[in-house]
């Protein structure tokens, strides 16, 4: 989904990370992600979580974002990786803007 390493200022909050990802994510990928069920997001985390951690330096110096993710992870029912917190937040944002809905005529 994130096709390349993005050259950006490091986000310091989950909201900033979401904005950065959405600004870089092509429309097709945004639509695909929004169509996924919340239970499918772990599949995405396995594929791009390491790239998110690398780009946002979660394990290498971005302690503010890491801390924000760890606090947010406590709201989940099961143990949750910081990258999943970001992916879930992206998905949540897309639920408001990119979900395809049936329009009755």
Quote the number of domains for the chain: 1
- Tell me the residue range of the domain where 44 lies: 14-97
The pTM of this model reads 0.84
In a domain, 28, yes or no: yes
In a domain, 18, yes or no: yes
In a domain, 2, yes or no: no
Angle at which helices 63-73 and 82-97 pack, to 10 degrees?
70
In a domain, 8, yes or no: no
In a domain, 92, yes or no: yes
Encode pLDDT of 39-75 as tens digits: 999 888 888 999 999 999 999 999 999 999 999 999 9
């Amino acid at each position: 989904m994130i096709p390349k390493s993005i050259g950006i200022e490091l986000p310091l909050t989950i909201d900033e990370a979401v904005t950065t990802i959405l600004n870089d994510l092509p429309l097709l990928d945004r639509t695909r992600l929004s169509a996924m069920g919340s239970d499918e997001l772990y599949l995405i985390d396995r594929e791009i979580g390491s790239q998110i951690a690398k780009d946002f330096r979660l394990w290498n110096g971005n302690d503010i974002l890491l801390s924000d993710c760890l606090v947010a992870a406590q709201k989940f029912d099961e143990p949750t990786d910081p990258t999943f917190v970001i992916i879930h937040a992206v998905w949540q944002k897309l639920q408001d803007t990119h979900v395809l809905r049936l329009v009755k005529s």
